[in-house]
Amino acid sequence: DGGITQSPKYLFRKEGQNVTLSCEQNLNHDAMYWYRQDPGQGLRLIYYSQIVNDFQKGDIAEGYSVSREKKESFPLTVTSAQKNPTAFYLCASSKGQGAAGGPQHFGDGTRLSIL
């Protein structure tokens, strides 16, 4: 089945540690996105990529980094500079950018906690 796969489902980070969240899609979508969701809140955009080898900061990029070396993959690294990393992280993709790109489709998330 076509879709977006995020792994792991649960992740624990120690102080000072960087961790990487995986996001893979087989929908042949050009655009990919990372969002953060805190309890009782909507989603906030961390980073997005409209095409391979290109990505842009979203609203809350500080303490995070991404890469887009392949169309199918858009991993997110939560660095030690992110002082409040505990959240539910969601990856999404869409055919293209803007309204013409259609809706974004989401994976089932990674829940990150601090040890």
Partner 1 sequence: GESVGLHLPTLSVQEGDNSIINCAYSNSASDYFIWYKQESGKGPQFIIDIRSNMDKRQGQRVTVLLNKTVKHLSLQIAATQPGDSAVYFCAERPLLGGGADGLTFGKGTHLIIQP
Closest separation between CB of residue 98 and partner 1, Å?
A: 3
Q: Kindly state whether residue 55 participates in binding partner 1, applying the rule CB under 8 A.
A: no
Q: Are 69 and 53 in contact (CB under 8 A)?
A: yes
Closest separation between CB of residue 10 and partner 1, Å?
A: 10
d(CA 87, CA 54): 25
- Strand 54-57 relative to strand 64-66, pairing: unpaired
Residues in binding contact with partner 1, number by CB under 8 A? 31
Measured from the CB atom, is 9 or 83 closer to partner 1?
A: 9
Residues near partner 1 (CB under 8 A): 4, 6, 31, 33, 35, 40-45, 48, 50, 56, 58-59, 90, 92, 97-109
